[in-house]
Amino acid sequence: MPKLIAPMVPRDPKDAHRAATPLELFFDLVFVIAIAAAAVGLHHSVAENHALEGLAYFCVAFFAIWWAWMNFTWFASAYDNDDTVYRLLVMVILAGALVMAAGIPKMFDGLNVAGGVTGYVIMRVGMVALWLRAAAGDPARRRTALAYAAGITLAQVYWVGFALAQPLAVHVSLGLFLLGVVIELAVPAVAERFATTPWHRHHIIERYGLLNIIVLGETLLAGVMALQQSGGDHFSPTLIATAVAALVVVFVMWWVYFTDEDHLTSHELPDALLWGYGHLLIFAAGAAVGAGFAVLVDTLTHHAHIELGTAYLAVGIPVAVYFAGLWFVRDRKCLTGPAVHVLLAGALVILAALALGAGMFSLAGIAVVTAGLRTWLARTAVVREAVS
């Protein structure tokens, strides 16, 4: 049984047996609901020929999901003491995630943000309470913890004002949203300069990998649901072959993420911020691939209002972004020689193929070749060792 309340002292960043806890795994599963809601909104927007508008709303929703998840994950890596108060505060954050997930569909209806902001603020208030506990339990990093608490609080004041100011023109709302993003991103960059929090490198790598598995699982689920909803009368050899090609693409996405090389090579703040923030591209692209698969099925079964070429773009562009994101956060940091740029080259080839009218089978083929070439070249590449 956990203690009712215990000092929130810093964890050992070199603990040899640190792994994700059952509460962290539960935390991830709750966020699956929000990720699925954002992907469904993107799917319907693209299928109804509102791709740019839907993409903008998807980015708004996904940033809120990812940022709340990321902030808690790094905090837990440094300060998780698993007492009863900690568990209850995490459950407050989870309740906020569910409220936000319920409000995400409205975000795709003219950027109605009231429900989403309400859930987001609930999550962030829970984080403020956790940071105040860390400030009391870790005197050496009190300024850092208080800076986090103050920065998050100020950001929530901004978001409440943003929600109350609605309705605004969409372009004005998006501009104000980007300003809020800058404020949120600045909080860790400023706070960590007082004293770095004692996050556990291997634990963080595992946590990010687990979320990526969940995102890829959502991608598979999106494809299956789209096939089910299309109805048995529409099944054809083309549709089945397309589903197999989509499955191959997801397998490749898993393959190129989980490699032998360390994702995060140091504890230096610039490296940690780049790696942590850069994963937004990877996670969002992974979720968008699932939405693209659903759009493709809708198009093949004549349930969408777009051309087939547009549906292929809805799949291929996120795959290219996923490859490029992995190159940005990992390969260019940990590999040398020709292996460094394989994923970036694969992303560019995918985009070029899409411009030439490539379909799902070509995309799957390029993905397989990219993964195979990267695996082969990485075996002989000089790998930069991670700093423990």
Which pLDDT value is given to residue 41? 92
Q: Identify the three-state secondary structure at position 335.
A: strand
**Cα torsion for 60, 268, 17, 211, to the nearest 10°?**
20
pLDDT of 269 strictly over 90: no
Which pLDDT value is given to residue 263? 83
Q: Would you say how long the chain is, in residues? A: 388
Which pLDDT value is given to residue 138? 94
Single out the residue of 140, 94, 149 nearest to residue 119, CA to CA. 94
DSSP 3-51: -S----PPP-TT-TT----HHHHHHHHHHHHHHHHHHHHHHHHHHTT-H
pLDDT tens string 225-247: 766 765 555 567 778 888 888 89
pLDDT tens string 43-55: 999 999 999 999 9
- What is the average pLDDT across 187-202? 92
Which pLDDT value is given to residue 385? 53
The architecture CATH gives domain 201-380: Up-down Bundle (1.20)
| CA separation for the pair 340, 335 (Å, rounded) | 5
- What is the average pLDDT across 368-377? 94
Q: Which residue has the higher pLDDT, 383 or 367?
A: 367
- What is the average pLDDT across 168-194? 92
Cis peptide preceding 237, ω within 30 of 0: no
What residues does 335 pair with on adjacent strands? Answer: 383
Which pLDDT value is given to residue 388? 47
DSSP 135-170: HHH-GGGHHHHHHHHHHHHHHHHHHHHHHHT-S--H
pLDDT tens string 85-113: 999 999 999 999 999 999 998 888 877 88
- What is the average pLDDT across 258-269? 84
Which pLDDT value is given to residue 237? 78
Both tokens of 56, joined, read 């903008």
Domain ranges of the chain: 22-191, 201-380
Which pLDDT value is given to residue 3? 79
pLDDT tens string 307-348: 999 999 999 999 999 999 999 999 998 888 888 999 999 999
